Chains A and B, each alone.
Chain A
Amino acid sequence: MGSITLENVRKSFGSADIIQGASLEIEDGSFVVFVGPSGCGKTTLLRLIAGLEDVTSGQIRIDGADVTDVPPAKRGLSMVFQSYALYPHMSVRGNIAFGLKMAGMPKGEIDRKVEGAASILNLTPYLERKPRDLSGGQRQRVAIGRAIVREPKAFLFDEPLSNLDAALRVQMRQEVTRLQKQLATTAVYVTHDQVEAMTMADRIVVLNAGRIEQYGSPLELYEHPANLFVAGFIGSPKMNLIGREVAGQFGAATIGVRPEHITVARDGEGWEGTVGVAEHLGSDTFIYVDVPQVGTLTARTVGELGIRVGERVRLRPDQRRIHRFDTEGRALAA
């Protein structure tokens, strides 16, 4: 069991409002990712759930019980830190066992659980080593082991993969997801990497300047961004945002078209522009086209078109996939 409810949670440091009233319902067993640019308050929100910070106002409930004033040790959550925060003076075994020891579990049972967790995470050969003798990926596993062994109501992850190299990050991403599904334990995961968010989450919370901009499944966010911020934040390369007269033609203050929804051709209909830069990735080509009156647009084409810098091309947006926003930046109904 582990549903988490935030009700109008606020946090301010002095006069600065870090979290400006967040309400959220996290269902038991779901994988929820907090994503947003740095300084958006996502880590603070996680620490509020953990109890490592006091809320200024509002209420946090876990499984329906109010835990707003309960110290972190008593909330029954476990956390994986960005720095891993392993106890340097304890062995891997000691690290994983620490929480159980604090709970006063008998020794035999601790050993059994620690060894169980170690075998799931392929840590068995390293149980007696100290953290400083482990690689980054192994430390990461120890931190995860420490979290799962206590069978918490929920896991909290604070950018756990940001210290790993790219290849390992992809691998750990899959492992964490698999593990979470296997254990069916609620997980709250903070990241600034939208790819991580899209691939791991059941539901994503997009945060910006201390406000929740949108809460939904990855596909919802991609297909129906609630506002300009989410539209610009989710998707890579970024959605093209076009204002002025062009948007007016569509009855909106701003329109957005994703690069993958633009067709590039040498002639025919569409906006005419000059190719400024072309990035060849092999499978895809991103071309950046300067369109007079509109600005620089990014388009994604599959494979190679043989388009060169300086060439004039036509860009045709997929009419069904144009996102329209009002003057406040909110999405208009299709």
Chain B
Amino acid sequence: MAKFYPPFELSEKLGKKMVEIDAPDLEAFLKRGSELAGKDLSAESKRFAILINGRNIRYLKGFKTPLGPDDEVFFVYGSGGG
């Protein structure tokens, strides 16, 4: 099961900061996550960078990136400060 750390608005809706999703790759993960969240996560991915185990999917295999047990998926937006 891969671990999904959704953006804050979604985690508030789900009542959880982390949700486990069983999927062989990111594409399937987004499909199952969408059912769970009640919104299209593929569309959300146009607003957020998707990171798997800390790495942007641009440097992996994009939406075809395979997912294994304990892999971690984050949706993040650009930010700054410090």
A binds B: no
Residues of B within 8 A of A (CB): none
